[in-house]
């Protein structure tokens, strides 16, 4: 699958440090497949104890239908390394999260799952926070976000991750091609740890 | 040659290939894996017809969804059971050594690695688990990865990586009685915030760190991720070598001498550059406790809960209001004296023998307050055995605490050990996120000493009053 452009209304969740336990609680981690994880997305923020939706949670609003972009506070995705977090977001149609920063492991996991972690400067972020449900365009090739005001701001992305997303490069396939280098490295390695059995 | 940090040295010696426009291919010496973050990676291998390239460098354990009740009882949680059964099958199919519930060496992945001597200085170590930094205590570059990357390491024993910058965290001076390694790391995180180390690797240094035991260093490195850093490490020294020597997977004989010579080259060179630095005076530290819903929301035990009215950033302010609402706490008040329902001593942060000894030293001759449930969960079956040999189990049981089998338990509440909605715990684990210890549960993170003292009194307690 390739990912180049996203154009969508934005859902705004103005909370800093949203951790992966909120994105998907641990009790959804017993699955041995990826199926059905979407149900766990923001489970305890989204639903009441009796399973009814909380009307005031942003993704439960009628406007949230079809939203592909989530705007959040700083340091999104901190906490556990669970890749279930990006899986659950993508299963709910979210393909980009815009913030001022992301936790390292989450960012890496997102990029492997057609989910763009988009870091924008503080002023652009402030504009987005004030514009819930406005339409925003993300152009991955140009690395720009077009804000509701029409202003376009650039965002950084790892060059290799971008190539993988835009051209649909299979990262593992790329690594496997380097097998001769891996074998050579192992052969010449001094003090390698071959002591485990 | 340009002076290098220990992180740069480990990095340089593990780069397999570097191509323009792509991250480096980094060799992984040890891959640890558990039942929760691996099943989808094994499925990927099957779908693509791939093998585990180096099953001999891969170690598996069951820890996250495992029951901590007697191993002779049938497992009631059928979904959790299915996950453990799948792990067993995966390890069998792919030839991976598994420490399952039947072995005497089972335990939390970050406890058993060091315990078996698998964790060694200068290694690159990964696990589909964010607390992999624990192994950094040995001077290894150890970090958490997602399930896609678990699959990459299975298939190639490598990862595509870009180097991280080093962040020097210096701790100097002598700790006061009642103040421990956990308090150091909680103080660091309270200072820099939970995103403070993003993009960096912490290198813990200074006289205080040098004076700590390996287990205490593990407690500190363990919570590097709570400060935003994917990895944290301590350069190896004699304390490190003494700990490793003689363990099952430690090098022996001439291999030991060669390894030691290599390890002694690892410490950071004079004049190496750090991207960031922080210095902390250990002698000013008090026992720490968190009041909020992330590990950066910590205060000294004599301190008071911050007031949102004093904050200028609107999101920070609303986050604090949200946290205090969830925790049902009032700003300006002390946390000390707050009633609690549960005490949990366990997790990869504080479940080693020295942690159990610390907790037992407070519990000895005392009782768990009748209003409190106390759960002591050793980090591994070996720790449990040692605790029993020292009679610590009796101290806990006579005090009225529950002493369990090894596992992650109430750290993440996947296995049925959990808080009820609204309950307060003092917990020696590493995360106080909303619902982390059970839906609606509220967590105060603290050291084993503080946890034990609070179990006795039934309220958040300054352990120094009981020493
Ligand atoms: S004890 Fe807690 S933090 Fe450590 S590995 Fe288990 S669940 Fe993760």
pLDDT at B72: 85
Q: Quick: pLDDT tens for A133-148.
A: 999 999 999 999 999 9
Residue A195 pLDDT > 60: no
Centre of ligand 1 from the C-alpha of residue B408, in Å: 5
Examine residue A130 and state whether it is found in any structural domain, yes or no: yes
Q: Quick: pLDDT tens for B195-204.
A: 999 999 999 9
pLDDT at A196: 45
CB pairs A-B closer than 8 Å: 203
- CA gap B153, B128 in Å, rounded: 10
pLDDT at B76: 86
Q: Mutate which of B412, B418, B437 to test ligand 1's pocket (most atoms within 8 Å of Cβ)? A: B412
pLDDT at A194: 47
Is A172 in Cβ contact with B39 (below 8 Å)? no
pLDDT band with cut points at 50, 70 and 90 for residue A47 = very high
Q: Are residues A22 and A108 in the same domain?
A: yes
pLDDT band with cut points at 50, 70 and 90 for residue A197 = very low
- CA gap B110, B63 in Å, rounded: 10
Residue A192 pLDDT > 80: no
DSSP designation for B413: T
Mean pLDDT to the nearest integer, B421-428 = 98
Residue A1 pLDDT > 70: no
pLDDT at B429: 98
Q: Are residues A83 and A131 in the same domain?
A: yes
Q: Are residues A189 and A130 in the same domain?
A: no
Residue B96 pLDDT > 60: yes
Q: Are residues A56 and A150 in the same domain?
A: yes
How does strand B124-127 pair with strand B30-34?
parallel
The CA-atom distances, in angstroms, between B123 and each of A136, B97, B131, B210, B214 are 45, 19, 16, 20, 16
Mean pLDDT to the nearest integer, B384-401 = 98
Minimum mean pLDDT range among B52-61, B99-108, B311-320, B426-435: B311-320
- CA gap B108, B345 in Å, rounded: 14
pLDDT at A189: 81
pLDDT band with cut points at 50, 70 and 90 for residue A2 = confident
- pTM score of the predicted model: 0.96
Examine residue A162 and state whether it is found in any structural domain, yes or no: no
Q: Are residues A123 and A54 in the same domain?
A: yes
Mean pLDDT to the nearest integer, B134-139 = 98
Q: What angle, rounded to 10 degrees, do the helices at B381-389 and B353-363 form?
A: 40
Task: Look up the CATH number of the domain holding residue A132.
Answer: 3.20.19.10
pLDDT band with cut points at 50, 70 and 90 for residue A166 = very high
Is A80 in Cβ contact with B198 (below 8 Å)? no
Geometric angle at alpha carbon B205, from B204 and B206, rounded to 5°: 145
Examine residue A121 and state whether it is found in any structural domain, yes or no: yes
Scored b (16 or more CB within 10 A) or e, B350-388 reads bbbbbbbbbbbbbbeebebbeebbbbbbbbbbbbbbbbe
Q: Are residues A71 and A19 in the same domain?
A: yes
Examine residue A178 and state whether it is found in any structural domain, yes or no: yes
Centre of ligand 1 from the C-alpha of residue B349, in Å: 8
pLDDT band with cut points at 50, 70 and 90 for residue A191 = low
Nearest residue in chain B measured CA to CA from A182? B16
**Residue with CA nearest ligand 1 atom 2:** B411
Q: Are residues A147 and A78 in the same domain?
A: yes
pLDDT at B27: 97
Q: Are residues A89 and A149 in the same domain?
A: yes
Phi, psi of A186 (to 5 degrees): -65, -40
Structural domain total, chain A: 2
Mean pLDDT to the nearest integer, A90-107 = 97
Chain A residues with CB under 8 Å of B228 CB are 75, 78, 103-104
Name the 3-class secondary structure at A22. Answer: helix
Q: Are residues A129 and A179 in the same domain?
A: no
- CA gap B447, B445 in Å, rounded: 7
pLDDT at B21: 85
Examine residue A163 and state whether it is found in any structural domain, yes or no: no
Examine residue A132 and state whether it is found in any structural domain, yes or no: yes
Centre of ligand 1 from the C-alpha of residue B459, in Å: 25
Q: Are residues A55 and A141 in the same domain?
A: yes
pLDDT at A190: 60
- CA gap A182, A174 in Å, rounded: 13
Residue A9 pLDDT > 60: yes
pLDDT at A193: 52
**A44, A189, A196 ranked by CB distance to B249: nearest:** A196
Centre of ligand 1 from the C-alpha of residue B290, in Å: 18
Q: Are residues A180 and A99 in the same domain?
A: no
Nearest residue in chain B measured CA to CA from A78? B228
Q: Quick: pLDDT tens for B169-189.
A: 999 999 999 999 999 999 999
Lining residues, ligand 1, CB within 6 Å = B 63-64, 108, 110, 129, 131, 347-348, 408, 411-412, 429-430
Q: Are residues A106 and A126 in the same domain?
A: yes
pLDDT at B25: 97
Is B40 in Cβ contact with A83 (below 8 Å)? yes
Is B259 in Cβ contact with A30 (below 8 Å)? no
| DSSP collapsed to 3 states, A33-98 | CCCCHHHHCCHHHHECCCCCECCCCHHHCHHHCCCCEEEECCCECECCCCCHHHHHHHHCCCCEEE
Nearest-atom number in ligand 1 for the CA of A26 is 7
CA distance A171 to chain B (A): 9
Examine residue A123 and state whether it is found in any structural domain, yes or no: yes
Phi, psi of A144 (to 5 degrees): -130, 150
Mean pLDDT to the nearest integer, A32-47 = 96
pLDDT at B20: 87
Q: Quick: pLDDT tens for B213-246.
A: 999 999 999 999 999 999 999 999 999 999 999 9
Nearest-atom number in ligand 1 for the CA of B110 is 5
**Residue with CA nearest ligand 1 atom 6:** B408
- CA gap B344, B425 in Å, rounded: 7
Q: Quick: pLDDT tens for B309-343.
A: 999 988 889 999 999 999 999 999 999 999 999 99
The CB density around residue B337, as the number of other CB atoms within 10 Å, is 11
Is A181 in Cβ contact with B17 (below 8 Å)? yes
Q: Which domain holds residue A80?
A: 5-157
Examine residue A27 and state whether it is found in any structural domain, yes or no: yes
Interface with B, mutate which of A14, A27, A30, A159 (most B CBs under 10 A): A30
């Amino acid at each position: 699958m390739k990912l180049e452009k996203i154009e969508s209304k934005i859902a705004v969740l103005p909370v800093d440090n949203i951790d992966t336990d909120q994105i998907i609680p641990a009790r959804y981690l017993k699955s041995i497949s990826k199926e059905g994880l979407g149900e766990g997305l923001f489970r305890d923020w989204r639903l009441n104890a009796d399973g009814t939706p909380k009307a005031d949670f942003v993704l439960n609003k009628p406007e949230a239908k079809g939203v592909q972009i989530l705007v959040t506070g700083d340091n999104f995705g901190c906490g556990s390394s669970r890749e279930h977090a990006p899986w659950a977001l993508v299963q709910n149609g979210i393909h980009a999260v815009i913030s001022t920063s992301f936790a390292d492991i989450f960012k890496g996991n997102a990029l492997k799952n057609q989910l763009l972690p988009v870091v924008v400067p503080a002023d652009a972020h402030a504009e987005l926070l004030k514009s819930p449900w406005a339409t925003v365009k993300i152009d991955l090739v140009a690395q720009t976000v077009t804000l509701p005001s029409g202003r376009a701001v650039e965002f950084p992305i790892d060059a290799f991750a971008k190539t993988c997303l835009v051209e649909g490069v299979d990262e593992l396939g790329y690594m496997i091609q380097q097998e001769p280098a891996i074998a050579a490295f192992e052969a010449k390695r001094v003090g390698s740890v071959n002591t485990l059995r | 040659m340009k002076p290098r940090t220990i992180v740069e040295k480990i990095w340089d010696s593990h780069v397999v290939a570097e191509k323009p426009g792509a991250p480096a291919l980094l060799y992984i010496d040890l891959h640890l894996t558990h039942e929760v973050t691996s099943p989808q990676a094994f499925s990927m291998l099957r779908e693509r017809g791939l093998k585990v390239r180096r099953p001999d460098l891969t170690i598996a354990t069951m820890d996250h969804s495992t029951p901590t009740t007697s191993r002779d009882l049938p497992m009631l949680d059928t979904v959790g059971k299915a996950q453990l059964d799948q792990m067993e099958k995966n390890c069998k199919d792919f030839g991976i050594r598994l420490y399952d519930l039947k072995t005497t060496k089972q335990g939390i992945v970050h406890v058993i690695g060091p315990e078996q001597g698998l964790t060694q200085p200068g290694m690159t170590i990964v696990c589909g688990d964010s607390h992999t930094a624990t192994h950094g205590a040995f001077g290894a570059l150890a970090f958490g990865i997602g399930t896609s990357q678990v699959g990459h390491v299975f298939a190639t024993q490598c990862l595509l990586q870009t180097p991280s910058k080093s962040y020097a965290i210096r701790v100097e001076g002598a700790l006061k009685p009642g103040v421990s390694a956990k308090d150091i790391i909680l103080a660091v995180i309270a200072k820099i915030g939970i995103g403070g180390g993003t993009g960096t690797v912490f290198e813990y240094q200074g006289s205080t760190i040098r004076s700590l035991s390996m287990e205490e260093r593990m407690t500190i490195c363990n919570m590097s991720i709570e400060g935003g850093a994917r990895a944290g490490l301590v350069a190896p020294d004699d304390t490190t070598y003494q700990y490793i020597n003689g363990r099952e997977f430690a090098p022996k004989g001439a291999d030991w001498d060669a390894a030691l010579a290599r390890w002694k080259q690892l410490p950071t060179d004079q004049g190496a550059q750090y991207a960031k630095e922080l210095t902390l005076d250990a002698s000013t530290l008090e026992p720490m406790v968190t009041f909020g819903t992330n590990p950066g929301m910590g205060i000294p035990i004599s301190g008071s809960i911050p007031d949102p009215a004093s904050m200028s950033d609107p999101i920070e302010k609303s986050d604090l209001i949200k946290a205090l609402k969830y925790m049902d706490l009032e700003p300006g008040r002390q946390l000390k004296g707050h009633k609690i329902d549960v005490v949990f001593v366990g997790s990869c942060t504080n479940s080693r023998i020295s942690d159990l000894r610390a907790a037992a030293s407070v519990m000895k001759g005392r009782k768990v307050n009748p209003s409190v449930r106390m759960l002591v969960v050793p980090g591994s079956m070996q720790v449990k055995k040692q605790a029993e040999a020292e009679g610590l189990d009796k101290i806990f049981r006579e005090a009225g605490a529950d002493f369990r089998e090894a596992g992650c338990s109430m750290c993440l509440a996947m296995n049925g050990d959990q808080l009820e909605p609204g309950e307060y715990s003092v917990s020696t684990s590493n995360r106080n996120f909303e619902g982390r210890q059970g839906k609606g549960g509220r967590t105060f993170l603290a050291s084993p000493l503080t946890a034990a003292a609070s179990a006795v009194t039934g309220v958040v307690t300054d352990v120094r009053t009981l020493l």
